[in-house]
Amino acid sequence: MQKIDPHMNDWYRFIQEKLGTDAWIPLYLHDKIPDTDDDFFLFSAIAPKTSTEQILSQYEWEIDIASFYPGHIISYGRGKMTDAKYLRYGREDGIEPILIQRHFHGIKKAFFDLSEEFRHLYNLYFDEHEKKFIIILDDGEEEDVIRISDELIQINAKYLKEYLAVKNANLVLYFNVDRFLSGKFSELGDEIIRDIKQTNFVTCEISISDDPRKRDDTVIFSRLLGKKIISGLDDFDPETFDPCGVKHDEYLEFIIGVDSEGKEILFSCDEEKLANFFGKNKGKPNYVTPVFFKREVLEKYYANTEKYSIHDGNLFCGGLWSLRLDNNHEKYVIVMLGDLGHLSISEQRYWRSFNVKPDGGFSEVAFKRGFAAEWTDPSMEDLIFKGKFERFQESWMKKLGWDLFLPLGKSDSHFFNKIRVPLKESQSEFDELVLAITKVIIDSINEAKLGEQLSSKEQDERGISKFYRFLSEKGVKNFESHIQFLRDLQSLKSTSTSHRKGREYESVAKKWGIGKKRYQDIYREILTRSANLLDFLESEFLK
């Protein structure tokens, strides 16, 4: 500790050279520095550029952390009020908060509010679990803007500097560092040492004295008190400013064919460079040129069904963007070359990583829909099942007034959205998909309503067994194979995902052909038999 500088030159160099220069800039900080036990405190505010000279003219703070409460400034004349001026932040100098500390008299926990203007400008979402504000960009990507902990609140420099440019303002960092050293102040001099330092963006005072907490002179007390100005972007253009925008003027090249030597032929997805059916860019590849991708390209979107949804012929990212695609092809996902140009550059890069050489053309379904203008049902088993299931649910409710399969709650809806023909030969993906379809057509059987329809109650009777009795008592014929399918599917789920795999799983797996058939083919069978069950029920109850 004796080697630590009481003149705090180390801290001054840090303030001058490093503070506020990183990708994340502190807005609030209160911490003990481990190596020196220094107490470092910092908070911040937004100030008009016109006040820069005034702010830097003195090291004392204009505000404190408890400033910025709204209220009136009352003017009096001859003992009477002559004017009442309401101020949003209780100040007339134009300084405003980016953080506001809220206190509740010890009854409720204090916390910091983020500037409403800043939140609204970037439409920030607060993630309660991660304690951070995020921005959702136009391409659906999310980026941290504010990160919060008890000791530190920091801001993404990109958004801070942009915001400062929007407001023609600076960020003022108010800092105070206290240092206590063992030693005699009398050995440094007889009077309190004060050193004021000032540059174009920093002003501060370094003072050294006896420790004010003690009556003897065994501890030297040093304090660094001051401010630093952080400026905004120099090249800001309000005409092109888009708070949540991403660039859409970059275009990658995709594989559209092979030449006579087997080399890949690449071409840009920029619509302006592509031909169309009306004479544009003759001799160039057409907008509708099919581009082929491995089916695994969809894995990213199936893995995040809260943000993305895949339908028959379309991929959606919330309400931000969509992409037409041919997902009725047996082996590939196919997208028109021109449509790829409507994706952000980050999405283009993602899709480019799954791009393969052309292998045929669009699926028959996509061709009939897109080029022959014919209404055509999907051909992929997952799309067939999901379409039938949604129509069945609506028709059953409309005719019978209750749901045979209970609608999935918000926390379970992802199971339905994830149902798909497996994208690859993977045990883990197959297990996940078995769980998903079981949730939809077995775990969701409306046992309560089925029980109301039965002539008697049987102890410990569960979903499939109730369904069996319901069909029997309704006089339905030839339903046994469908019930057996449900029992076999339930056994597959129970032995593969609900419990450790053991001998019972081996027996069930053998029945389904696992090990001899591809996972994709087995799951296609599950989807087909699930769709057949819906067709059977529709023919018995809804026609």
- Mean pLDDT confidence for 220-224: 92
Amino acid at residue number 352: R
Cβ distance 68 to 117 under 8 Å?
A: no
Please give the model's pTM, rounded to 2 decimal places.
Answer: 0.84
Residues linked to residue 482 through DSSP beta bridges, in sequence order:
none
Query: Per residue in 490-519, pLDDT tens?
Result: 999 998 876 667 788 888 999 999 999 999
Task: In whole angstroms, give the CA distance from residue 296 to residue 144.
Answer: 28
Residue 78: which pLDDT band, with cuts at 50, 70 and 90? confident
Mean pLDDT for all residues in the chain: 93
CA angle 45/47/52 to nearest 5° reads: 125
Residues linked to residue 209 through DSSP beta bridges, in sequence order:
221
Measured from the Cβ of residue 432, the count of other Cβ atoms closer than 10 Å reads: 16
- Mean pLDDT confidence for 194-222: 85
pLDDT at res. 218: 75
Task: In whole angstroms, give the CA distance from residue 530 to residue 533.
Answer: 5
Residue 215: which pLDDT band, with cuts at 50, 70 and 90? low
Of 42, 8, 34, give the one whose Cα is nearest residue 220.
8
Q: Is the pLDDT of residue 46 over 70?
A: yes
- Mean pLDDT confidence for 24-44: 93
pLDDT at res. 192: 80
Cβ distance 253 to 269 under 8 Å?
A: yes
Residue 33, token pair as written in the block: 């520095």
Higher pLDDT, 403 or 183: 403
DSSP summary character for residue 224 = E
* Dihedral of alpha carbons 87, 93, 99, 102, sign: negative
The ranges assigned to domains in the chain are 9-230, 253-370, 381-541
Q: Is the pLDDT of residue 3 over 80?
A: no
Query: Per residue in 359-414, pLDDT tens?
Result: 999 999 999 999 888 989 999 999 999 999 999 999 999 999 999 999 999 999 99
The owner of tokens 């890949």 is 264
Q: Is the pLDDT of residue 193 over 90?
A: no
Cα dist from 327 to 139, 294, 307, 470, whole Å: 21, 11, 19, 37
Measured from the Cβ of residue 12, the count of other Cβ atoms closer than 10 Å reads: 19
pLDDT at res. 1: 40
Q: Is the pLDDT of residue 181 over 90?
A: no
Query: Per residue in 252-288, pLDDT tens?
Result: 999 999 999 999 999 999 999 999 999 999 999 999 9
Cβ distance 279 to 287 under 8 Å?
A: no
pLDDT at res. 292: 98
pLDDT at res. 381: 97
pLDDT at res. 2: 46
DSSP summary character for residue 75 = E
**Percent of the chain at pLDDT exceeding 90:** 80
Q: Is the pLDDT of residue 113 over 60?
A: yes
Query: Per residue in 434-453, pLDDT tens?
Result: 999 999 999 999 999 999 99
Measured from the Cβ of residue 471, the count of other Cβ atoms closer than 10 Å reads: 21
